Amino acid sequence: MPEAQAICQEPEVDFTVLDRIIFDDYGGNREAMIMMMQAIQRQYRFLPEPALQYISQAIGIPLTKIYEVATFYASFSLVPKGRHIMHVCTGTACHLKGSGGLVQHVAARMGLDGGGTTPDLKFTLETVNCLGACAVSPVVVLDDRYYPKANVGQLNRLIEQIDTE
């Protein structure tokens, strides 16, 4: 189970960073909780449990409510993500140009079941719905770099690069 292993590697949570996000950037405003959580996720690439507990105390929202939000929205993750993150767009335009096949192909090569993170935390595969670049579909984004008109051969080369790291 990749997830179980991943949880063992909780990073140290720096509470001064949390204070900065919660109070300096968002003024402790409960309505800004989603954006606080996004900022925390940018920091750690997922939502560490101690950070969620800290928000709960800091702005007085029950932990269950925070978990409800964390599991409702697709962009939040409760387990760490890989060092390399690949997003394959599966919006309609990209789907028509075969992005479903790209997802299957990458998942099979990395031994993932349709998506997720490899046990060594090297690589995460995720799908997104439309990145607004439909003209150059199918679009793949690896570590924030766009690969327009992606194809299997090109993705194989990208994966090989990651493999050899």
Is 134 near another protein (CB under 8 A)? yes
Span from 16-24, 32-40, 84-92, 156-164 in contact with ligand FES (CB under 6 A): 84-92
**Interatomic CA distance for residues 107 and 124, integer angstroms:** 10
Please report, as residue ranges, which positions from 85 to 114 form the binding site for ligand FES (by CB under 6 A): 89, 91-94
Span from 8-16, 17-25, 32-40, 116-124 in contact with another protein (CB under 8 A): 32-40
Phi, psi values for residue 98, rounded to 5°: 90, 25
Quickly tell me which residue has 């993170």 as its tokens: 117
Residue nearest to ligand FES (CB): 91
Please enumerate in sequence order all residues whose Cβ is within 8 A of that of 129, keeping only pairs 6 or more positions apart, or say none: 89, 90, 91
Quickly tell me which residue has 């409510």 as its tokens: 65
* 41: its two tokens: 């996720």
Out of another protein, ligand FES, none, what residue 17 binds, judged by CB under 5 to 8 A for its kind, is none
Is 63 near another protein (CB under 8 A)? no
Q: How far is the CB of 144 from ligand FES (least distance, A)?
A: 15
Q: How far is the CB of 96 from ligand FES (least distance, A)?
A: 8
Query: Which residues form the interface with another protein (CB under 8 A)?
Result: 30-35, 37-38, 42, 65, 68-69, 72-76, 87, 90-96, 98, 100-101, 105, 128-137, 139, 141, 144, 146, 148, 151-153, 156
Query: Which residues form the interface with ligand FES (CB under 6 A)?
Result: 89, 91-94, 130-134, 137, 139
